[in-house]
């Protein structure tokens, strides 16, 4: 089982993603303070991990479903879901990722 805690940023919402491999399918459970991500989680309950890690063919199911429910294109939750799937499927290491933003005056 792999668990990801995603703090989405300025919105202040936190999402917990839990993934579990069952044969060739990765089951996904999503708990979030965000109503849009909660709806995404209800629609995205399992994926094929090999489909999730490539933009070839149809691309990640996570991103297709996220486009239906999440109105903020920069939301980090869909990427966090894919990272949790990768780790659970043994396709990547459980290493934290981050985006650090700053604004400077010219």
Q: Tell me the pLDDT tens digit for each residue of 22-56.
A: 999 999 999 999 999 999 999 999 999 999 998 88
CATH topology of domain 2-88: Sufe protein. Chain: A (3.90.1010)
Alpha carbon distance 92, 16 (integer Å) = 19
Tokens of 19: 């993934």
Between β-strands 2-7 and 25-32, what pairing exists: parallel, antiparallel or unpaired? unpaired
Give this prediction's pTM.
0.94
Q: Specify the pLDDT at position 106.
A: 82
Residue spans per domain, the chain: 2-88
**Mean pLDDT along residues 10-30:** 97
19 neighbors 85 (Cβ within 8 angstroms): yes
């Amino acid at each position: 089982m792999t668990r990801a805690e995603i703090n989405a940023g300025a919105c202040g919402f936190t999402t917990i993603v839990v993934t579990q491999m069952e044969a060739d399918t990765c089951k996904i459970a999503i708990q979030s303070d965000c109503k849009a991500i909660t709806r995404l989680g209800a629609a995205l309950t399992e994926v094929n991990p090999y489909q999730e890690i490539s933009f070839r063919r149809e691309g990640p199911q996570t991103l297709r479903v996220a486009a239906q429910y999440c109105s903020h294109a920069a939301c980090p939750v869909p990427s966090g879901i894919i990272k949790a799937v990768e780790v659970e499927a043994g396709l990547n290491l459980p290493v934290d990722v981050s985006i650090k933003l700053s604004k400077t005056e010219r």
